[in-house]
Structure 1
Amino acid sequence: MSNEAVQPYQRIVQDVRDKIRSGQWTAGTKLPSTRELADEYGVAPGTVQRALAELRTAGLVYSHQGRGSFVTETASETTEDSTARALKRLEEQVADLSARLKKIEKGRSD
């Protein structure tokens, strides 16, 4: 997907996810303010609010009125779990494809 196809709020969501995944932002880290994020990304504050709402729904951040938004305790665990599940699925797909390839090669040798 090209950068033009990504909505501005999605870019913010992905950047926050990447910072959590990389360990740059850990549990309890305070995110920059809505105004700071809006300035950084060159977007309206409403766009930042939409990104934060999506991150809250995903369980990656929580917000306190007047205090800001913070990385949840489970955010890094959640991203690690999803990575582990994705790797497990890939391993299963590779095993399945290997079995299919063996059947095809066996059929050719007969």
Structure 2
Amino acid sequence: MSNEAVQPYQRIVQDYSEKIRQGRLVAGAKLPGIRELSEKYGVAAGTVQRALTELRNTGLIYSHQGRGSFVSDASGKAVQDPTTLAIRALESQVAELSARLEKLEKRRDD
């Protein structure tokens, strides 16, 4: 997938997924706040929130209201069963395809 086809929230998801999988962020590590991530990636707070939701859905992070988001423990309860993870992956793919279709339709209308 080319960089222009990657939605801004997906770039954040990819970056943090990679950091977690490579061990650069370990279980319990706190992620930067929404404002900090928003500034770092040059995106709106809603885009960061969407990325964090995606990371939570895949079980890579968990969040505590008022405290922030943290890397999940691979052996902890945040990791979900394979069926749930597969459904979440499909949901993500559908969202990505919908966004790409919307972009193509917009080009056609211009």
Q: CA RMSD in A?
A: 1.3
Q: Which runs of structure 2 are paired with 1:42-61 in the superposition (5 Å)?
A: 42-61=42-61
5+ residue gaps in structure 1? 79-110
Summarize deviations over 1:67-110 as a string: whole Å, max 9, x none.
000000018xx7xxxxxxxxxxxxxxxxxxxxxxxxxxxxxxxx
* TM-score under structure 2 length normalisation: 0.67
Aligned pair count? 76
What residue is the counterpart of 1:3 in the other structure?
A: 3
Summarize deviations over 1:9-35 as a string: whole Å, max 9, x none.
000000000100111100000000000
Divergent runs of 4+, >3 A = none
5+ residue gaps in structure 2? 80-110
* TM-score under structure 1 length normalisation: 0.67
Higher helix share: 1
Offset at residue 63 of structure 1 (A): 0.4
Q: Kindly name which structure, 1 or 2, has the bigger radius of gyration based on alpha carbons.
A: 1
Q: Percent identity?
A: 70
Distance 1:22 1:56 in 2: 18
